[in-house]
Amino acid sequence: MSLANTQTSLELILRISRELATTLELEEALSKVIQLSMENVGAERGSLIAVNNDLEPLVAAIFADGHLVPYTIDQIRTILSYGLAGQVIKTQEPVWIVDTSKDERWLRRPDDAANKTGAKSAICIALKARDQLVGVLTIVHPKPDFFNQDQFELLQTISDLSGITIHNAILYASLNESNQRYQELFDDSIDPIIITDWDGNILEANRQARNCVGTSFNGPLSISMQDFHLVNWDEVGENFIHLQNGETANYESEFQCHDQKIFPVEIHVRKVIINEKELIQWTLRDISERKALDVLREDMMSMIYHDLRSPLANIISSLDILDTLLPKNSSITPVFQIAVRSTDRMQRLINSLLDIKRLEAGQPITNPKFVNMNVLIQESVEALEPIISSKRQNLALHVHPDLPQLYADEGMLKRVVINLLENAIKFSPLDGNILLSANSDSEQLFISIKDSGPGIPDEAQDRIFNKFTRLDAKSFPKGIGLGLAFCKLAVNAHNGKIWVDSTIGQGSQFNISLPLKKELTIEA
């Protein structure tokens, strides 16, 4: 190559470098690359096809007769399947065709006939970036045997420069697409979503949130999340320290909109990184309907225990009278005992409903006294022996013979033990095994009840102690979801703890620990 040609080539490479450095738009980058390459050699036409990691076409620039030619993706796929560009993509090696009329690799078009534009020469080069194929460049000159070695090497240099540009443009397009998709998901979410800094100042809000805070978003807002709701600092930590440590927080609160409308919300808070900056994302879920349903349930509970207590009391009194009138060993005694057990169970349920409402209101237990726990456990078992026998289940008792007395509400604790035993009976199969254990140390009394049922999924083991929670699987018997909620409230009222250990397919064990010290607050 002469000195003049070398200078010209270097000037062209410098010009191409400057042109390519000015764009990150993929289609614009392709257009610039193909035009500059064609200008260099006086080509008739040319094409540049960008491909993804699966070698599928993303976009293309096709030049002919001095202007861009429209195309469809299907047309580009055909070129990659049957044309010279497709062969270069497969081998990733450049191809230099001296005479297209004599080379079988050339996909002939109607205007390649001898009586039309005739034979041509072509160069096709794979474009790479960091050893990754990103596209293929094809340059066609109207004369055969036109290209020389210097032009071929220059086109290879241009291809190397173009590969990096196209790779960056593909990454830029992918990033823009991801940002657009995130923005659409962010803005179209049915839940209000708010982005704040670590002082709580609102930086961004989606459509639902803007409707609530009452402002159009054109940048950071001069308002704070604390202006609209009371932050639960126990959950997020002082100065959001829990969030800074990567934890997430969930709590319920009330959110006051700009129009003074107040509605209950469940708030999910976490740290997010946006544009390499750590921020806070607040997702708000309107739980008005759930709260209204809770009120409806509470009203129903109140109606049940108020409207049923008086009739049930009359039934119990009538059964007491019948008990004194029936002869011993009467043939109807078994039927009578079923009626007695059923009324006892109904009375326990109504008392538990009353206790739930009272304990949730923060009222202390009403009838504390020193309770013989061995007697309490034995009476609880005896109350359920007929049901255990009917299911042919084996109840094993591992109870220390001399448990310490416990200062407690005897009736409430007995309902807790019976409730847990009833659950064990209900969930264990016919001929199943149930284990009731009780022991103590110097500070705590421990009671555990293990069944041979289907087990409880890990994600439900905390949730089952919430009111109206029922497991949906077919293997779980139906209920109203209040028994375990009562147990937790009753145990907590005695400053104790209740939890479950369970493995799917291996049954569940409910555990209670109760302090032996007399630390209860007694209702005056």
pLDDT at 170 over 90: no
Half-sphere exposure of 194 (CA within 13 A, CB side): 29
- Rounded Cα–Cα distance for residues 250 and 231 (Å): 11
Whether residue 491 sits in one domain with residue 395? yes
**Residue 95 falls within a domain, yes or no?**
yes
Residues 438 and 489 in one domain: yes
The answer to the question of residue 294 being in a domain is no
pLDDT at 477: 54
- Domain CATH number, residue 70: 3.30.450.40
Does residue 209 share a domain with residue 112? no
Model pTM greater than 0.85? no
- Where does a domain end: 258, 286, 314? 286
Same domain, 165 and 207: no
What per-residue confidence (pLDDT) applies to 279? 92
Q: In whole angstroms, give the CA distance from residue 469 to residue 486.
A: 12
- Is the domain of 272 the same as that of 383? no
Both 148 and 112 in one domain: the answer is yes
pLDDT, residue 431, reads 92
Phi, psi for residue 23 in degrees, rounded to 5: -140, 145
Averaged pLDDT, 91-107: 86
Residues 255 and 167 in one domain: no
343 located within any domain: no
pLDDT attached to residue 452: 93
Give the up-direction half-sphere exposure of residue 238: CA atoms within 13 A in the CB hemisphere: 0
What is the reported pLDDT for 430?
Answer: 92
Q: What is the pLDDT of residues 266-277, one digit of tens each?
A: 999 999 988 788
138 and 222 share one domain:
no
pLDDT digits (tens, 9 = 90+) for 454-502: 998 888 888 888 876 766 555 555 555 678 888 999 899 999 999 999 9
- pLDDT at residue 129, rounded to an integer: 86
Mean residue pLDDT across the chain? 83
In the chain, the number of structural domains is 3
What integer pLDDT is reported at residue 521 of this predicted model? 47
| 356 within domain boundaries | no
523 forms bridges with which residues in the sheet?
none
Based on the domain organization, do 139 and 227 belong to the same domain? no
Mean pLDDT of 213-221: 59
Domain that holds residue 197: 191-286
Which stretch of 41-55, 137-151, 289-303, 461-475 has the lowest confidence by average pLDDT?
Answer: 461-475
For residues 206 and 165, state if they share a domain. Answer: no
Instruction: Kindly tell me if the per-residue pLDDT of 329 is higher than 70.
Output: yes
In a domain, 346, yes or no: no
User: Which class for 324: exposed (0-12), middle (13-18), buried (19 or more C-beta within 10 A)?
Assistant: exposed
Would you tell me how many other CB atoms lie within 10 Å of the CB of residue 234? 10
What's the rounded Cα separation, in Å, for the pair 114 and 295?
88
Q: Are residues 450 and 494 in the same domain?
A: yes
Shortest CA distance to 157 belongs to which of 137, 184, 177, 182?
137
If you ran DSSP here, which 8-state letter would residue 201 be given? B
Do residues 393 and 505 share a domain? yes
- Compute the distance between CA of residue 486 and CA of residue 432 in angstroms, rounded to an integer: 26
Q: What is the CATH number of the domain that holds 265?
A: 3.30.450.20
